[in-house]
Structure 1
Amino acid sequence: MSPDLEEFRNRILAHAKLAVNRAPKVESEASTNASLVQPFLTVLGYDVTNPDEVSPEHHADFSDKYQNKVDYAILNQGQPVIAIESKRVGAAMKDDRGQLRSYFNASPTVKLGILTDGLRYELYADSDKPNMMDEVAFLRVDLSEIAKSGSIDDLTLEGVSAVRSGLFNPEDVGAEAKRKLMFESIVQLIKAFKTSPPDDFIRFVLDRTEMGKKMGKLTQKVVDANRDIVQTAMEAFVAREALARLGFAPKDVVKAPPDYQEPPATGTAEQAISLETEGGSLPPSGGELAALEYSKNRLFYLVRDDILFGEVSKIAFRKYKKSLRVYYGGLNAGSLFDYRERKDGLPLLNFPALNVEDVPYAASPALDDLLLKSFTQRATEAGVVFGGQPVLRSIKGGHPDASAG
């Protein structure tokens, strides 16, 4: 990623936090524009004080009888190229797409329409018919979610970056919108296949695997018998990809560590099963993935010693039927915590090193304290020498569920 784009990412993150803090004090559409929308346009590099660049209450007329206007128009050589319709923060935006569409369709030079309440931004193009605004937004940006997670994904960042002053190209918008809409439709299709693979897809997969080719004719009975394994395999693949991005090597996902022992039949490990069971590996659930990401990222933040910082990257995990064990070093001797969910869905953590059980999984200084104490204790027991006991930092934004898929 270029330094320029990385710097823009930091500006978006800073603006998201600022906008979320301001939003509760904004009570009208006018204050939404002044406190939220205009600062966002400034982040994009536009001079909101220059009417030759940002024109408020801009009109586009079909005729003397029908007049259309938007809250802001971004101008290029005197012609509007971006139309922005804003509503009071928190207001429903669905019914106001028609107002934006009427202006968009009345202005041949407009190639991008933006509907916003100051926190949520929907971007529309004319990818289906020239000069006719699409029914579906090709990009949605929610500053509340960005502020909550403290991150913005690369695709969204690149989409917003393309709207910046000096970078926006009206002629590219339609093609880019088509690409993003196609991308999203493929993602949704794959998601549907992962959740409930249709018969044709199962046949497609089986027909292209060595084991599947040995099954002979792929009858409905064969398809039904292998439905679960195809679904589980897809879930495992998605989990591995997500875990690889968190720094867990593929071997951590599918193979037991050398010192593997079955955990004692107590607490969350009583339903333990090997990942190398016949029929494929067992992928972590969405909640378990969120706990893994949160705990590892928090420890990277909490430890202040360089040696300990390097040791955090050695954290591994073991998936069981009804729980997940996160550990450092040995599976049992180095256990940091066990994650499980109650029947009502409440996630709980057990910390064997500290003899602490059933701690609700929720971002807090108390959870930070337990993570840090458990990790430093296991590191000390493993013979790691570091410069004194780390000092607990106060929690800084985020939420354990912010990155769950």
Structure 2
Amino acid sequence: MDLIDQLKEHAIRVSKAKDTIQTEEATKNALIMPFIQILGYNVFDPSEVTPELIADIGLKKGEKVDYAILMNAKPIILFECKKSGGDLNINHASQLFRYFHVTEARFGVLTNGISYQFFTDLEQPNKMDEKPFFEFNVLDFKDQQVEELKKFTKSAFNVEQILNTASELKYTRAIRNILADWMASPSEDFVKILCSEVINGKRFTPAVKEQFTHITKSAFSQLISEKINDRLKMAMEPSTERKTDNSNGEEIKTTSEEMEGFRIIRAILRENIDPKRVNMRDAKSYCAILLDDNNRRPICRLRFNNSSRMMIGLFNEKDEKIEQITDLSDIYKFTDQIKKTIAMYISPEEFAPQ
């Protein structure tokens, strides 16, 4: 069963049980341990999942963290658990903070069995950040969030790959929250900036502030409504999901796996080039990922049309080498080759961290 299907089944159980759970221990047993199990870790094997891991931290003796996931006998993910329905904030993570500092674990999770907040040390090395870089709610999640969660599964866990996207996830989330606040209640500075763009030279008086605060909220609302309507129109037009193979006029459907593979390639290359330069062209036998939408600059080919297996075509000079993959996350294994391919097409000055 796929991860998303397991999570959907778990969500049904959580929604039924959450209101009857009265203690932290019951939350662990009914909600959190099954979640860890879904990630592929054996909660009944203490060499893989250790409850109440103890360590002496400075003058504090016998400090415990609720769960530690181990790999090669070393902690990789720490869990601090609170009662179902309880609030989660950084004040509830004191033990997680201390344990993060003295172990080799790079990720800490604060959870109440419904919301899972993932932390790392983006701000200062070996010091857990005060804000999570990723949050997963088992009762309200999207497909893209499942793809991010998949990186923490036993079969896909790779510290460097997670850290490569952690920063973007954290700051994207922060900016979205700010924009959401501005939509509901635009700040004076924000309104002032917008006002200066549309009425140059006019003084920002209290009357102008009041007028443009109202206009800004209205503009936000109209913009979001238009975007939603555009998406609905696209969803109602099947032709927008299809491209035509010019050689024989056959219709081709771009699958969700191909779209996700395309996003992974963009994520791999975003540190080196503008992601907008990475384009996709679907064909009958493969989905081509190209640089600058140029057929002479192939990055790779996603060969997912065979129902029994998925393959990826990689390019060394102009030759294609086909590799089999078992999961979309396997694409990350070819990060170095994909970046080498890009480097063949552009100058060293272009191929640099953005």
TM-score (norm 1): 0.50
C-alpha contact (below 8 Å) 1:111/1:174 kept by paired residues: no
- Match for residue 136 of structure 1? 131
Q: Paired residue for 1:219, among 203, 206, 220?
A: 203
3-state SS in 1 of match to 2:129: coil
Q: Paired residue for 1:62, among 57, 64, 81?
A: 57
C-alpha contact (below 8 Å) 2:192/2:204 kept by paired residues: no
- Match for residue 176 of structure 2? 187
Q: Distance in 2 between matches of 1:193 and 1:161?
A: 32
- Match for residue 99 of structure 1? 95
Q: Paired residue for 2:221, among 231, 235, 254?
A: 235
Equivalent AA in structure 1 for residue 99 of structure 2: Y
C-alpha contact (below 8 Å) 1:84/1:115 kept by paired residues: yes
| Cα-to-partner distance string for 1:1-30 (whole Å, 9 max, x where unaligned) | xxx9xx322221211111222334434333
Equivalent AA in structure 2 for residue 183 of structure 1: T
> How far 1:90 moved relative to its partner?
3.2
Equivalent AA in structure 2 for residue 179 of structure 1: E
- Match for residue 37 of structure 2? 42
- Match for residue 257 of structure 2? none
Q: Paired residue for 1:158, among 147, 155, 172?
A: 147
C-alpha contact (below 8 Å) 1:54/1:75 kept by paired residues: yes
C-alpha contact (below 8 Å) 2:76/2:105 kept by paired residues: yes
Runs of 4+ in 1 over 6 A off after TM superposition: none
> 5+ unaligned residues in a row in structure 2: which ranges?
237-354
Judged with a 3 Å threshold, the aligned counterparts in structure 2 of structure 1 residues 195 and 20 are, in CA distance, closer, same or farther, namely: closer
C-alpha contact (below 8 Å) 1:112/1:173 kept by paired residues: no
Q: Distance in 1 between matches of 2:21 and 2:77?
A: 25
Q: How does 1:4-23 map to 2 (within 5 A)?
A: 7-23=2-18
C-alpha contact (below 8 Å) 1:20/1:119 kept by paired residues: no
TM-score (norm 2): 0.57
C-alpha contact (below 8 Å) 2:79/2:96 kept by paired residues: yes
Judged with a 3 Å threshold, the aligned counterparts in structure 2 of structure 1 residues 13 and 246 are, in CA distance, closer, same or farther, namely: farther
Q: Distance in 1 between matches of 2:77 and 2:188?
A: 45
Q: Distance in 2 between matches of 1:43 and 1:191?
A: 32
Equivalent AA in structure 2 for residue 182 of structure 1: Y
Structure number with higher strand proportion: 2
Instruction: Give aligned-pair identity as a percent.
Output: 27
| Cα-to-partner distance string for 1:153-184 (whole Å, 9 max, x where unaligned) | 24432332221112222234445332222112
C-alpha contact (below 8 Å) 2:57/2:98 kept by paired residues: no
Q: How does 1:165-184 map to 2 (within 5 A)?
A: 165-184=154-173
- Match for residue 289 of structure 2? none
> How far 1:248 moved relative to its partner?
7.6
Judged with a 3 Å threshold, the aligned counterparts in structure 2 of structure 1 residues 233 and 69 are, in CA distance, closer, same or farther, namely: same
Judged with a 3 Å threshold, the aligned counterparts in structure 2 of structure 1 residues 216 and 127 are, in CA distance, closer, same or farther, namely: closer
Q: Distance in 2 between matches of 1:59 and 1:158?
A: 32
Q: How does 1:17-32 map to 2 (within 5 A)?
A: 17-32=12-27
Q: How does 1:345-356 map to 2 (within 5 A)?
A: none
Query: How many residue pairs were aligned?
Result: 233
C-alpha contact (below 8 Å) 1:85/1:115 kept by paired residues: yes
C-alpha contact (below 8 Å) 2:122/2:167 kept by paired residues: yes
Q: Distance in 2 between matches of 1:93 and 1:25?
A: 19
| Cα-to-partner distance string for 1:327-346 (whole Å, 9 max, x where unaligned) | xxxxxxxxxxxxxxxxxxxx
C-alpha contact (below 8 Å) 1:72/1:85 kept by paired residues: yes
Q: Indicate the structure whose relative CO is greater, using CA pairs within 8 Å and at least 6 residues apart.
A: 1
